[in-house]
């Protein structure tokens, strides 16, 4: 694994610098730049082409959710990890909806943060335990029809599909276009395309036809 290029985004200068110093302890991570909001982060991505963006959530001007959407729309290959103090359900859902590749809290230990970055670089979705517990509680309160999907787990016992993934699959299999799904779910068309690609990879499928058969077999419709 080569050097992992990281862009640190936070509106508080002392936190940006602290995170930068913390990460540079690792010989495998290079902090290529910092930004104070989502817009600045997006603009710096074209110049720096980071592998990972560590994105604060609540910032003046363009916040972390909007910043993530901007980056994922134009640079889907760049991983964006939310690094925040907030773990409210609405914040988590907004971050997931924006296309974030992880959600971790700022009380994380330095070695755990470095490990999370390495995992994100390898393609793993990293979620802080408290955040995962919140998502799990929400899943248990979901409609009964979504429960069959919750039995689909990976080798580590984690759900393969999120509630949002399931909703996208339903709309897609029912003949909705990317544009239709975007309007229904209030998510950008680019993010819908990106999310469907991720779903196909997660399920080891190649096209919409296979996804349709998978949905019928697993009673997602």
Share of the chain above pLDDT 70, in %: 81
CATH of the domain at 47: 3.40.50.2300
> Do both 94 and 125 map to the same domain?
yes
- The tally of domains found in the chain comes to 2
> Do both 25 and 88 map to the same domain?
yes
Residue 131 has what pLDDT? 62
Q: Residues 197-209, buried b or exposed e (16+ Cβ, 10 A)? A: ebbbeebeeeeee
Q: Environment class of residue 46 by beta-carbon count within 10 Å: exposed (0-12), middle (13-18) or buried (19+)?
A: exposed
User: Is pLDDT above 60 for 6?
Assistant: yes
> Do both 102 and 170 map to the same domain?
no
> Do both 125 and 149 map to the same domain?
no
> Do both 87 and 164 map to the same domain?
no
Per-residue pLDDT band at 145 (split at 50, 70, 90): very low
> Do both 40 and 114 map to the same domain?
yes
Highest mean pLDDT among 8-12, 99-103, 160-164: 8-12
Residue 153 has what pLDDT? 64
Q: Which DSSP string do the residues of 156-169 spell out, in sequence order?
A: TS-BSS-HHHHHHH
Q: Are 131 and 108 in contact (CB under 8 A)?
A: no
Separation between Cα atoms, residue 146 and residue 150, nearest integer Å: 7
Give me the domain span that covers residue 110: 4-135
Nearest one of 77, 83, 25, 19 to 46, comparing CA atoms:
77
Residue 122 has what pLDDT? 84
Query: Which of 108, 135, 162 lies at the terminal end of a domain, its last residue?
Result: 135
Query: Which of 103, 135, 167 lies at the terminal end of a domain, its last residue?
Result: 135
> Do both 163 and 130 map to the same domain?
no
> Do both 94 and 22 map to the same domain?
yes
Query: Which of 135, 151, 176 lies at the terminal end of a domain, its last residue?
Result: 135
User: Is pLDDT above 50 for 142?
Assistant: no
* Mean pLDDT score of the chain: 82
> Do both 107 and 162 map to the same domain?
no
Place of tokens 């470095």: 114
> Do both 209 and 181 map to the same domain?
yes
Across the beta sheet with 4-9, what order do the strands follow?
A: 29-35, 4-9, 52-55, 79-84, 102-105, 126-127
């Amino acid at each position: 694994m080569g050097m992992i290029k990281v862009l640190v985004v936070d509106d508080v200068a002392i936190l940006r610098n602290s995170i930068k110093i913390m990460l540079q302890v690792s010989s495998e991570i290079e902090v290529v730049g910092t930004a104070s909001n989502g817009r600045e982060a997006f603009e710096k991505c074209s110049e720096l082409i980071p592998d990972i963006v560590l994105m604060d959530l609540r910032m003046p001007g363009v916040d972390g959710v909007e910043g993530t959407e901007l980056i994922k729309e134009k640079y889907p290959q760049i991983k964006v990890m939310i690094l925040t103090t907030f773990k409210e359900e609405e914040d988590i859902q907004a971050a997931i909806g924006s296309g974030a590749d992880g959600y971790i809290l700022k009380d994380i230990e330095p070695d755990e943060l470095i490990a999370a970055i390495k995992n994100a670089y390898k393609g793993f979705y990293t979620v802080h335990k408290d955040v995962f517990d919140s998502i799990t509680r929400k899943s248990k309160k979901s409609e009964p029809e979504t429960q069959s999907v919750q039995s689909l787990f990976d080798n580590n016992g984690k759900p393969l599909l999120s509630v949002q993934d399931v909703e996208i699959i339903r709309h897609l299999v029912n003949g909705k276009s990317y544009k239709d799904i975007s309007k229904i779910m209030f998510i950008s068309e680019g993010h819908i395309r990106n999310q469907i690609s991720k779903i196909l990879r997660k399920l080891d499928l190649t096209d919409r036809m296979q996804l349709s058969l998978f949905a019928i077999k697993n009673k997602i419709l």
